Structures are given as structure tokens and as C-alpha cells.
Homo-oligomer: A and B are copies of this chain.
Amino acid sequence: MAKGKKLTTRAENYPEWYNELVKKADLAENSEVRGCMVIKPYGYAIWERMQAILDQMFKDTGHVNAYFPLFIPKSFLSREADHVEGFAKECAVVTHHRLMASPDGKGVVVDPSAKLEEELIVRPTSETIIWSTYRNWIQSYRDLPLLINQWANVVRWELRTRMFLRTTEFLWQEGHTAHATSEEAIEEAERMLGVYAEFAENTLAIPVIQGLKTERERFAGALETYCIEGLMQDGKALQAGTSHYLGQNFAKAFDVRFANKDNKEEFVWATSWGVSTRLMGALIMTHSDDEGLVLPPVLAPFQLVIVPIYRQDDEKELVLNKVAELAAELKAAGIRVKLDDDDTKKPGWKFAEWELKGVPIRLAVGPRDLANGKIEVARRDTKTKEVQDLDDTFIERMKKLLDEIQFSIYERAKNFREENTTQVDSWEEFKAQLDKPVPGFIFAHWDGTTETEEKIQAETKATIRCIPIGNPAEEGVCIYSGKPSRQRVMFAKAY
């Protein structure tokens, strides 16, 4: 079935471009359940690769996986005051455990006699259920550290949803670690921030700023929230991962103590950290263009697509034999290859389709090329084409080209971010920068108060994305209040 492949351009309407791209590239679609998406096979294949790479990074840093219940008793959520405050307003609540035939004979209704004694919350995050479990697992310093990760679905009843970026249900991983000292917990939170930053840059090819959230932007229940922030092509920031130092808050709420080396009882120190299917949104908005998705080769389900071109039947056999051979050689070299030999589609249709789906390299092979030992190589990221020799070094050159594309799209995104990072020193400059088509990251002085932060947001919609790690000290005055400031912080409009 023919599909309209043309997208609204980014310049015309960026949010619309994003929605169309997600749907037309077969990444995801909205489901019939409010705010929940269906992740389609092509989108899920990218997520699976993200999972596999991250999972190995977690294991390499000493973590193991486990699985905790989907449901959280309502009373658990209330134990940590900030935590319940942060999540109570967006909870899916299970109140009954049975349906029955409707008395009017039409369909089914909730069986009122099957009301739960205590309501269950579909987990918005799992600190409470996990720390109630850790109480039984931790007695002594010898049981620490506990370094556990969980791959799971979570539910937050968001008012406004957008595929991948903010959905009622989403997929994520959540690490929950327990430590004997505050220092160790902080070290862990920072280590995992580093893992996320490395993953974002090397795998997603997204340059990120690592930093600390302000008190106001912290995770509900955390003493410190670390984050990585990427800059999207419309000049808005996207928080791509967070790592929290939780102090002893959850240990106190769930009474998790341990005997230290001096045999004295102490509350346990905690961290938690997570990334989600939101990363798919970051990936799309960092690299893609008006023709569709641009995928980093490390994540692409197909790294290279071969489109055979022929007219007569004798040409067909010749070309198909040759591309099948070539595909086998490329696969043997470890490249993920799609040979698109579908007879019902024209080459032009296929070019547009694989462009839309972001396959990094496209080879087009016709009978004349073959006769001359040539092949057309097209790069998705730069949209450049080149006729190359189909010789002994071809496979090796394709491997190098994939590496080059991975590097090149990262560099492009990094240059974009640098071009769109500014320092401003006055309220007027600040507002003017935010009014530009691509406002970007704005470094400005801030007086350090939540009050000022809130006023700035109310007036401009910009928020403090983070206080970058290793931020240089610099005396100055707050752009809003004029009060003294000792460092610039990073502002942006954000997803």
C-alpha cells in the first residue's frame, strides 16, 4: 500500500514533523488507550539495541537485574513525604479485582463485591516497593553494596502526552542501590551519570551536558539529582537520564538499617537512576531531518540497505545474484544488512522508504554498474552519493564508513549545540535569546533561590536545566533579581 512519505518540514512545524516522523517511520503510534503508545517493531528493534548495550554497561559496572512487583500498596507511597507529594497526582489506581456480567445484559461491569481492602498503585517508580524489600535483605555491612537494576514498565498519568517523550505508560530501567556510606552512594550516583553520558555520546551520538538539578527540579525524595541534558534541533533541551543520591530518606521511611563494621546500627544510603523510552525521542530529535529518521549506525536495526535495479528479466537474475552474494559478504563481516528485493515496489519508492527509516548506508546496484565493477553508495546523514569500485576493499570501506557516520553525526550535533550555546548578562538579553527561533542553552547568573527560578519560568517558560559538573566559579549578578551570584547556570526551554 502506498504511503505518503513526505513529512511536514521542521521549519514549517517542528512538533508536527516529529509526530509524522514517528508514525511514518514505523517507530510508534498512539494506541486506543489514552496516553499509551504502541511501540512498533521497527521502533522496538532500536529500543532493544539500546537495552542490550546499556544492560552490558550496567553489568560491567557490577550490577545485576531483578524484578519487583508492578503494584505498590497505597500506604507505601505515603511513607516518604516528598515522594508521595511528587507522584500522588498522576497515579493509576487499582481498586477492584473482578468484573461481572452487567445486570442489563450488555458487556461487563466492575464487581462491587471485589473491592480491594487497600488500593494498589501501578508503579510510577519503584523506590517504595524496593526499599520495603531491601529491609529483609540487608542486615550487615557485608550485605552491602546492593547493586540492582530492573527493566520494567511504569505508569504516570500525564495530562499531555507525546509519543516517546511523555506517555502514560513507558518502558525504562531503574537502578536501586544500597550502600554503607554516604560517600559510596554519591560515588555510585556519579558513576551511573557517567555511564549514561558515555552511552548518550557513544551510542546515541548525542552530546550531553552533565550536571546537577536545582533543589526545585530534584526527584521527589532525592537529596541530589544528577542529569544529562541534550539540545534538540529546535533549540529546546531534553533531559535524557537522571541519577539520584537519595541519602537515607528511603532507608528511614522503610526502616532499613545495617550493622556497620563497628557493629553499630545505621540507616542505609541509597541511589536510584533511570533512563526510558524517552531516549527514542532524544535520538529522533537530535539527528533526523525533513526526509525522515537519521540513525547512528551502532543502533540501526539495518545499517546498510541494498536496492537492486533492473528492467528486463535477464538483468534481474544477474543483479539479484550479485546483490545476494554481496549481502552475504557484508553480513559475514558483521554488518546488519537489508536486501530489499521486493518485486512489487519501484527503486524510487524504496529509496524514500529507507531514507524515512534512517538506514545509514544505501547501495544501489544496476546491470551497467555491475558490468563496470561499480556500485552507488549513498550516505543517509549527508545525503551524498558516490559511485565506488566494487573491489576487494569494498566491505572494509563500508565498515569504516559506518564508523565515520557514527562519528560524523555526533560531531554535527556537537557543533549545533556549540553554535546554540550563549552567555547572557541581562534580563533583556535573556528574553531576546529565548525569543529566537533556536533559543538553545543559555548560561546566565542566578541568585540561587527557588523564588527567582519560579519567576523566571513563569515569565519565560525557561527552566534551569542544570548546574554543570565542573562549572567554573564566576562572580556576577543574577539576571533577574540583580542579587549576587557565584556561578552561571544553564537555562533552556525544555521538553
Chain A residues proximal to chain B, CB less than 8 Å = 1, 29, 31-33, 36-41, 44-45, 47-48, 64-78, 84, 88-101, 107-108, 110, 119-122, 129, 132-133, 136, 139-140, 142-143, 148, 152-153, 155, 157, 169, 171, 344
The CA-CA distance from A48 to B37 in the complex, in Å, is 25
Task: Report, nearest first, the 9 A-B pairs whose CB atoms are least far apart.
Answer: A36-B69, A41-B64, A88-B99, A39-B67, A78-B107, A97-B157, A93-B96, A33-B69, A95-B95
Instruction: Select which of B68, B119, B129, B171 is within 8 A of A110 by beta carbon.
Output: B119
Cβ–Cβ contact B99 & A91, under 8 A = yes
Beyond A94-B93, A98-B90, is A32–B132 a contact (Cβ under 8 Å)? yes
Residue of B nearest to A69 (CB): B36
**A123 CB, nearest partner CB in chain B, Å:** 10
Q: Which residues of B contact A133 (CB under 8 A)?
A: 29, 31-32, 38
Cβ–Cβ contact B169 & A70, under 8 A = yes
Beyond A95-B95, A99-B88, A157-B97, is A1–B66 a contact (Cβ under 8 Å)? no
16 contacts between A and B (CB under 8 A): A32-B76, A32-B132, A33-B69, A33-B72, A36-B70, A41-B66, A44-B64, A45-B64, A77-B99, A77-B108, A88-B99, A92-B94, A93-B94, A94-B122, A98-B157, A142-B344
Instruction: Select which of B67, B91, B110, B140 is within 8 A of A38 by beta carbon.
Output: B67
Cβ–Cβ contact A69 & B38, under 8 A = yes
Q: Which residues of B contact A1 (CB under 8 A)?
A: 139-140, 142-143
Q: Which residues of B contact A96 (CB under 8 A)?
A: 91-93, 95
Max count, chain B CB within 10 A of own CB: residue among A29, A33, A36: A33
The CA-CA distance from A121 to B99 in the complex, in Å, is 9
Cβ–Cβ contact B33 & A129, under 8 A = yes
Report how many copies the assembly holds. Answer: 2
The CA-CA distance from A460 to B110 in the complex, in Å, is 35
Residue of B nearest to A65 (CB): B44
The CA-CA distance from A306 to B339 in the complex, in Å, is 48
Instruction: Select which of B74, B108, B169 is within 8 A of A88 by beta carbon.
Output: B108
Q: Which residues of B contact A88 (CB under 8 A)?
A: 98-101, 108
**A72 CB, nearest partner CB in chain B, Å:** 7
Cβ–Cβ contact A120 & B33, under 8 A = yes
Instruction: Select which of B76, B94, B143, B169 is within 8 A of A69 by beta carbon.
Output: B169
The CA-CA distance from A99 to B94 in the complex, in Å, is 11
The CA-CA distance from A70 to B70 in the complex, in Å, is 11
**A410 CB, nearest partner CB in chain B, Å:** 27
Cβ–Cβ contact A31 & B99, under 8 A = no
Q: Which residues of B contact A107 (CB under 8 A)?
A: 74-75, 78, 84
The CA-CA distance from A155 to B69 in the complex, in Å, is 10
The CA-CA distance from A216 to B93 in the complex, in Å, is 34
Q: Which residues of B contact A120 (CB under 8 A)?
A: 33, 92
Instruction: Select which of B67, B98, B132, B171 is within 8 A of A67 by beta carbon.
Output: B171
Residue of B nearest to A76 (CB): B32
Residue of B nearest to A136 (CB): B29
Q: Which residues of B contact A44 (CB under 8 A)?
A: 64-67
Cβ–Cβ contact A73 & B33, under 8 A = yes
Beyond A99-B88, A122-B122, is A71–B108 a contact (Cβ under 8 Å)? no
Q: Which residues of B contact A47 (CB under 8 A)?
A: 67
Beyond A72-B33, A73-B32, A90-B98, is A41–B139 a contact (Cβ under 8 Å)? no
Cβ–Cβ contact B129 & A31, under 8 A = yes
Residue of B nearest to A100 (CB): B88
The CA-CA distance from A493 to B256 in the complex, in Å, is 43
The CA-CA distance from A283 to B148 in the complex, in Å, is 24
The CA-CA distance from A38 to B74 in the complex, in Å, is 18
**A13 CB, nearest partner CB in chain B, Å:** 24
Q: Which residues of B contact A73 (CB under 8 A)?
A: 32-33
Beyond contacts A44-B65, A48-B65: 16 other A-B pairs, Cβ-Cβ < 8 A, are A29-B136, A31-B68, A31-B129, A32-B129, A36-B70, A37-B69, A38-B67, A38-B68, A41-B64, A70-B155, A74-B110, A91-B96, A94-B122, A99-B121, A122-B122, A153-B153
